[in-house]
Amino acid sequence: MIQFLDLHKINQPYEALFQAKLKSVLDKGWYILGNEVEKFENHFADYCGTKFCIGVGNGLDALILIFKAYIELGKLQKGDEIIVPANTYIASILAILQADLIPVLVEPDEKTFNLDPNLLAEKITSKTKAILVVHLYGQLADMNKINDFANQHSLIVVEDAAQAHGAKSEIPENKLQISNSNTQNLEPRTYNLQQASAYSFYPSKNLGALGDGGAITTNDLDLANVLFSLRNYGSEVKYHNDFIGVNSRLDELQAAFLNVKLPNLDSENERRVDIAKKYLAEIKNDKITLPFYDNSTNHVFHLFVIRTRNRNELQEYLAKNSIQTQIHYPIPPHKQKALKELNHLSFPITEKMHDQVLSLPMSPVLRDEEVAQIIQIINQY
Ligand SMILES: *Cc1c(COP(=O)(O)O)cnc(C)c1O
């Protein structure tokens, strides 16, 4: 049986280092917002090429807190409209709603699964204040076009980078300087020219903890200060509360484990890309559409998502041949029971994708023989 994702195998090589970290945190006796969180925040900010990183409880909270911080700063107001891709994981939309903002859904580009910049103009109203970009499946959205549009209309751009840790885009020279002004020769990850990016360290993500975790990266000092406070009861100085905050701190032990894994993120992402290249070169089946990839560093293949008309049939065929697959995602957010107020909407591209997508096994610990076997079985379908 080839598992879709073998988390034990992914984490097993780090076991001795995890044990040492556990002992060190245990011995220190400081379990909340200690040295490990601070160290991770510094390292992850460096890795992303941003000035600040704020560790939080999970990826959903990272998104909610970004929006709440903009409301505290007066840059967003309750009831403002936020443009978001219709085919995202529901967390992106829940975050908008939980910050008392209004999600405005837009269809993706059928080729890349990502937000289609050409459809932004028809979605904008006087209440539109931000775009929440989602780098779905690990591939960066078309940030040059999206940023240009946002600049023209004075919109905030927030990135949901929960699936795209380490993805790098080619950034025009003139903009590179802005993002790197206070960091030494660091290459910006995801885009990071944006006002803020949200990350999740849910165990299955490209950088995964042994439990929940999340972070926000930004170059905006004011935003960072509000976020450091909001995640911790709205308090910077103990028992002095400046905002109606929440308790959403990155856990000290999870930060310690992430400190162990972060140095290997790039090599693990490279292994994912190698596997993807093999799938792309060798899967040859008329019934299957392979994902678009431009051979650049802008994709870290969190997921390898193919499309086919008889998706459920293909999934059963693969299961019979001992290959586990998953569907990301079977029901689009606007058709979920939880989002009744969106149920009447129709997004044909999004709905078609949800009927056709299938995620093949993808992880840095997938062996070459397993990849070859998957390719062979798919080609015989
Ligand atoms: C995983 C994920 C989230 C949420 O992260 P959690 O840590 O599970 O809260 C948000 N957006 C996207 C696109 C995700 O894939």
Interval 47-92: pLDDT, tens: 999 999 999 999 999 999 999 999 999 999 999 999 999 999 999 9
pLDDT over 50 (residue 280): yes
pLDDT over 70 (residue 333): yes
Report pLDDT digits (tens) over 34-52.
999 999 999 999 999 999 9
pLDDT over 60 (residue 288): yes
| pLDDT at residue number 171 | 62
Q: How far apart are CA 297 and CA 139, in angstroms?
A: 9
For the segment 355-372, the average pLDDT, to the nearest whole number, is 98
| pLDDT at residue number 177 | 46
Cα of 57 from ligand 1 centre, angstroms: 11
| pLDDT at residue number 178 | 46
What is the rounded average pLDDT for all residues in the chain? Answer: 94
Whole-angstrom Cα Rg for the chain? 21
For the segment 98-123, the average pLDDT, to the nearest whole number, is 97
Of ligand 1's listed atoms, the one at least distance from the Cα of 214 is 7
Of the options 3.40.640.10, 3.40.50.2300, 3.30.70.1350, 3.40.50.300, the CATH number for the domain spanning 7-262: 3.40.640.10
pLDDT over 70 (residue 185): no
Look up residue 365 and give its two tokens.
């610990």
Report pLDDT digits (tens) over 199-246.
999 999 999 999 999 999 999 999 999 999 999 999 988 899 999 999
Distance set, CA 112 to CA 93, 333, 351 (Å) = 20, 19, 15
| pLDDT at residue number 169 | 80
Report pLDDT digits (tens) over 174-183.
555 444 444 4
Cα of 284 from ligand 1 centre, angstroms: 32
pLDDT over 80 (residue 312): yes
Among 167, 97, 166, 176, residue whose Cα is nearest residue 132: 97
Look up residue 282 and give its two tokens.
């060798």
Q: How far apart are CA 134 and CA 131, in angstroms?
A: 10
Of ligand 1's listed atoms, the one at least distance from the Cα of 61 is 9
190 confidence band (pLDDT: 50, 70, 90): low
Report which protein residue has its CA nearest ligand 1's atom 6: 59
Tell me which residue has tokens 């989002």: 339
| pLDDT at residue number 337 | 98
pLDDT over 80 (residue 366): yes
Q: How far apart are CA 191 and CA 337, in angstroms?
A: 33
pLDDT over 60 (residue 294): yes
Of ligand 1's listed atoms, the one at least distance from the Cα of 135 is 13
For the segment 345-354, the average pLDDT, to the nearest whole number, is 97
Please state whether 239 falls in left (phi above 0), alpha (psi between -120 and 50) or beta. Answer: left
Of ligand 1's listed atoms, the one at least distance from the Cα of 213 is 7
Q: Tell me which CATH code domain 264-379 carries.
A: 3.90.1150.10
pLDDT over 70 (residue 321): yes
pLDDT over 90 (residue 112): yes
Best of 90, 115, 163, 197 to mutate for ligand 1, by most ligand atoms within 8 A of CB?
Answer: 163
Q: Where are the domains of the chain?
A: 7-262, 264-379
| pLDDT at residue number 235 | 94
Q: How far apart are CA 85 and CA 217, in angstroms?
A: 21
Q: Does this chain's domain 7-262 share its CATH topology with 264-379?
A: no
| pLDDT at residue number 192 | 56
What letter does residue 12 receive in the DSSP assignment?
G
pLDDT over 70 (residue 128): yes
